[in-house]
Amino acid sequence: MKDALSGQGEGRTNWRRFAIAAVIPGAVAGALIAGVASGALAASFSVSGTQFKLSASKLEGTGFTQYSGALGKADGSVVPAAMSGIKSAKITNLCQTVAAGPIVLRIEAGKADGKPVEASDLLIGMSELGGDATFTNIDIGQDASTLTKDGRPAAEHGAVGGFGQQADGVTIDNLKQVAYSTSASTFKLTGMSLKLYVGNGQECFS
């Protein structure tokens, strides 16, 4: 299966890369909402059209799903997105930034050894993702409407007959992600730092 995935021809989708692009968004948006308070809290995002960036040394998740979808915007338009769900995740050395002109909001957490960021019931809508990913017991090409390993009902996933995949676990090293939205039932930012920069802020990655 590895050879088949790696050797797809030009013009065809590399599903391994697509899978990587769906795992990270959960970390990004969740961190933003959690940034306004310490500890754990529910987090939810609507698509404003503004994307945000997130990076991490490592994301370790259990209960992973992925499928293609679309996100609605306030003006009635939609944007295509890679949707990914993770039942529970631990994120080491998290950085998240949101840029609006010369203003950059930067959140960092999970830097101390043995004290990662913790999240549960993540649902991520993203446009880009990079990193070195390893999946445990992955099923590729499953009907999107039958996905369940992230703990959400199958009906809440993609359309009947749509492409989907799921795995018992996922690990992503050197994660970099650009996302539109993320929701989580809890997002605990250990050792959180929030800073607002005007004119001299640096995003997590360029």
Q: What is the tens place of the pLDDT at every residue in 112-125? A: 999 999 999 998 88
- pLDDT score at 165: 94
Lowest mean pLDDT among 45-54, 57-66, 84-93: 45-54
- pLDDT for residue 88 is more than 60: yes
48 pLDDT band, cuts 50/70/90, is: low
Distance CA 29, CA 155 (A): 24
**Closest Cα to residue 175, out of 129, 124, 138, 143?**
129
How many Cβ atoms are within 10 Å of 119's Cβ, its own excluded? Answer: 29
- pLDDT score at 94: 95
User: What is the residue extent of each domain of the chain?
Assistant: 2-198
What is the full DSSP assignment across 110-160?
--STT--EEEEEEEEEEEEEEEEEEEES-EEEEEGGG--TTSS-GGGSS-T
More confident residue, 34 or 105: 105
Distance CA 204, CA 96 (A): 6
Predicted TM-score of the model (pTM) = 0.75
